[in-house]
Amino acid sequence: MITLFKNVEVFTPKPLGKKDILVSGERILEIDERIDESAIVSLNGRVLDLSDAYAVPGFVDGHVHLIGGGGEGGFSTRTPEGSSKQFLEVGTTTVIGLLGTDGITRDHISLLAKARDVQNDGLNAFMLTGSYRYPLKTITGDIMRDIVLIPEIIGVGEVAISDHRSSNLSAKELQRFAMDARVAGMLSGKAGVVVLHLGDGQEKLKPLYEATSDGTLSPTQLIPTHICRTEELLSQGIDWVSSKGGYIDITANEDNTHLVLSDIYRRKIRFDRICVSSDGLGSLPKFDSEKNLVGIKPAPVDTLMKSFIKLISEEGLPIDEALRPFTINPARFFHLAENGIGTLKKGGIASIVFLHRDLSIDHVVSNGRLLV
């Protein structure tokens, strides 16, 4: 099906002004002014005039528990798996699936099957090998083989550090498997990156600094997530960005994520190194001072869109700047931007969210399919 979206204000995230967008199959054929609609009609295509809409890249959620998570309070606290519809309805067109605390009753084969399931529904879906605990769990028995041989696997994660649920792995162990992931990425043309779960332990980002201190491992291969867990952890994350040029990932919270992002932006810290993810479908556990579980609930998947809207409506950021942590930044970290994910470009994957002027969703196109 060929579809022409006319008269939309395009953000790639860079603002392009009023343009027409021509989509065929799963790709964007053209972004230009006044594309001739008569030719489209003659080919039995459809033409949609969206004069009052914005066109922005579909959101990239780099931390999703597609098959659920949880379990810290026993079997009855396992969170359920999700559906592609949940993500598409809130403007997310690309997800990176991973395992959480429970790497025993949940495994990578189930995660791979789920990734392929949501791919069939039009979602761009990838996944990470490895697990919370060390030694890392895999499908083939080796993280390099997983990354090289399985198309959906693009890196390792989430591996827990500085957390009472982690294996207290050393910086040398972290460096060793991160370098294996990097080489596997080189061999397969993938990112080969590592997502690191940060808890509230005293070491904080120390293992990352030590693992990259001799210069053999680039800081851009590692991304610490849940970086807003504490003020001190966020402060170290800002230093990781500023002094090391690394990326950090903020777990979206509709109450304060927009405030954190606005502060980072106005302090002129490298905004191109800031990513936001939902931790969607995983668990949000609460522990007391003795590390006993006192509460747990599943993480929502709509916090990216809610944070994006607040960043504009309450903090006053321009649309193009507000888009970056939700689109192009995670796409670049996971090496997906060249294929058009997290951006809008001629020849790229057609994953587009059309927004009303009040930033509510009008249409969602994923992999060239009009799904919402």
Which residues sit in the known binding site? Answer: 63, 65, 70-72, 101, 132, 165, 197, 226, 229, 279, 283
Tokens (6 digits) for 274: 């800031």
**Contact status, residue 222 vs residue 193, Cβ threshold 8 Å:** yes
Residue from 20, 102, 279, 358 carrying the catalytic annotation: 279
- Of the chain, the end-to-end C-alpha distance in Å amounts to 16
**Contact status, residue 258 vs residue 228, Cβ threshold 8 Å:** no
Tokens (6 digits) for 305: 């869109």
Distances (CA, A) of 271 to 84, 179, 275: 29, 26, 9
Can you say which residues are annotated as belonging to the binding site for substrate? Answer: 70-72, 101, 132, 165, 229, 283
20 is catalytic: no
| Torsional sign, CA 163, 167, 170, 174 | negative
Can you say which residues are annotated as belonging to the binding site for Zn(2+)? Answer: 63, 65, 197, 226, 279
| Torsional sign, CA 282, 120, 92, 194 | positive
C-alpha of 25 from chain center: 24
- Residues 154, 235: Cα–Cα separation, whole Å: 29
- Residues 127, 114: Cα–Cα separation, whole Å: 10
- Please list the active-site residues: 279
